[in-house]
Amino acid sequence: MPQNHRHRRDHVLLVDGGRQLNGRVCISGSKNAALPLMAASLLTKDRVTLHNVPRVADTQLMAEILQDLGARVRDTGPSSTSITAGEPVKHEVDDALGRRMRASIVLLGALVGRGGKAVLPRPGGDAIGVRRVEQHIRGLVQMGAEVRETDTQFIARARRRLRGARVVFDLPTVTGTENIMLAAVLAQGRTEILQAAREPHVQDLAKLLQEMGAQIYGAGTDEIVIEGVERLHGAEHQVIPDYLEAGTYAIAVAAAGGDVHIECSPPDDLVVPLIKLEMAGVHVDTGEGTIHVVRNPGRPLKPVDLTTWVHPGFPTDLQAQFLALMTQATGESVISEFIFENRYQHVLELLRMGARIRIDGKMAIVQGPSRLHGTDVVISDIRSGAALVIAALCASGTSELKKAWHVDRGYQDLVGKLGELGAQIQRVDESRRTAPSPSGTFE
């Protein structure tokens, strides 16, 4: 797993629109769960084995970072990875590797928790917002770490074992909650995290840490309590399915039309997005581990307003995809983005495809239905990439989506899975202008 992330190949996605999606698709493990779970493996010298790890660029990169730190990382099955962070483990995250993924910030809590020291590249703002981490830092400082910030790095050091603290977040930050959990499990005494994030991936991290011997209560609520323990041991853990991937496929079927069973993924984490789809006139029914989505393209979609919010609200990570869907609804829908300052990059590209959307502060006002037409567009982040694929599926003609590596960061085999459902989609290597493997795996 770790050897693959040296180069971002300049791939484009070519999508011929107008085909319905039909059949079955199996959802992979959650990227946003897997990353902190992999970081958690640093908290023990024993082996931690994770199953259902998504084979996406970000988990490959995390594996590479852990290996560079001194951990032994081995793929033990198609989606299983074992990590053993025996002695010694470096505390300095490789600058070039760490900088490539904002989520490397979760190594801060894990490294300080393990050895009392961490040096990490400081990620700047990115396409979707400023993405501050002052809540993470403040929590660690409360627990006894000294954290120095330079223009390029975070340098953290705890002179003694971290001690439990009452950490009250101003807002429920996801990786901030994970960082404090990772730091607190081996700290002395009791840590309380108030206004904690409640996302399913936060709950999954608590579960793995418990399996490793940690004492954590309340994950999934806004108050998490951790009683520090002396040591943690190895564990074997199944990463939760990626509800964001499942939601993306559900929206894609709604947009393109068709009849798809989304499998290997329980619907429980997607309650609000599925309600929004039903409000739009899409047929959704759910079973244990499956979501069945049916849309007859002959029937118009209804416009639906939504506001992104922390879990269990409508996830910001599905906003772009739903906005793309709303270009096909008859009437006006108002999409409000309340988590990130600047998560409307896809709008500019959708306008180029013929959508009618106006941005007004935090709101995007979408007028539908639009007859989208294929054109060249540029992907700016994982979810805008998914949105542009969805738009391209219902556009006439061929769309060319540049910077496909963004979607490879978070969607395992998007090209292969959509192709199985009947989409006309292929990946092309820009530099060679030849179609490599249709599987869509990251090279």
Contacting positions for ligand EPU (CB under 6 A): 32, 35, 103, 129-136, 171, 173-176, 197, 201, 316-317, 339-340, 382-383, 410
Q: Provide, rounded to whole angstroms, the least separation between the CB of residue 398 and ligand EPU.
A: 26
Quote the CA–CA distance of 113 and 183 in Å, as a whole number: 4
Q: Based on CB atoms, which residue is closest to ligand EPU, 34 or 329?
A: 34
Q: What residues have CB less than 8 Å from 323, skipping those under 6 apart? A: 335, 346, 347, 350, 357, 364, 366, 387
DSSP-derived pairing of the beta strands 166-168 and 235-238: unpaired
Q: Provide, rounded to whole angstroms, the least separation between the CB of residue 64 and ligand EPU.
A: 16
Which residue, chain included where needed, has tokens 């540029």? 378
Quote the CA–CA distance of 418 and 373 in Å, as a whole number: 19
Residue 17, Cα to own-chain centre: how many angstroms? 26
In DSSP terms, 75 is beta-bridged to: 81
Q: Provide, rounded to whole angstroms, the least separation between the CB of residue 435 and ligand EPU.
A: 27
Q: What residues have CB less than 8 Å from 292, skipping those under 6 apart? A: 259, 260, 261, 262, 283, 284, 285, 286
Q: What residues have CB less than 8 Å from 96, skipping those under 6 apart? A: none
User: What are the Cα distances from residue 345, in Å, to 24, 319, 324, 350?
Assistant: 31, 12, 12, 9
Q: Based on CB atoms, which residue is closest to ligand EPU, 134 or 285?
A: 134
Q: Based on CB atoms, which residue is closest to ligand EPU, 133 or 393?
A: 133
Which residue, chain included where needed, has tokens 């989609």? 425
Q: Provide, rounded to whole angstroms, the least separation between the CB of residue 382 and ligand EPU.
A: 4
CB-CB contact of 442 with 408 (8 Å) = yes
Quote the CA–CA distance of 255 and 320 in Å, as a whole number: 13
Q: Provide, rounded to whole angstroms, the least separation between the CB of residue 130 and ligand EPU.
A: 5
Q: Provide, rounded to whole angstroms, the least separation between the CB of residue 136 and ligand EPU.
A: 5
Quote the CA–CA distance of 406 and 385 in Å, as a whole number: 7
Q: Provide, rounded to whole angstroms, the least separation between the CB of residue 27 and ligand EPU.
A: 15
Q: Provide, rounded to whole angstroms, the least separation between the CB of residue 310 and ligand EPU.
A: 7
* Lookup: tokens for 44: 């023990």
Q: Provide, rounded to whole angstroms, the least separation between the CB of residue 393 and ligand EPU.
A: 20
Q: Based on CB atoms, which residue is closest to ligand EPU, 171 or 194?
A: 171
User: CB 298: neighbour CB atoms within 10 A?
Assistant: 6
Q: Based on CB atoms, which residue is closest to ligand EPU, 282 or 377?
A: 377
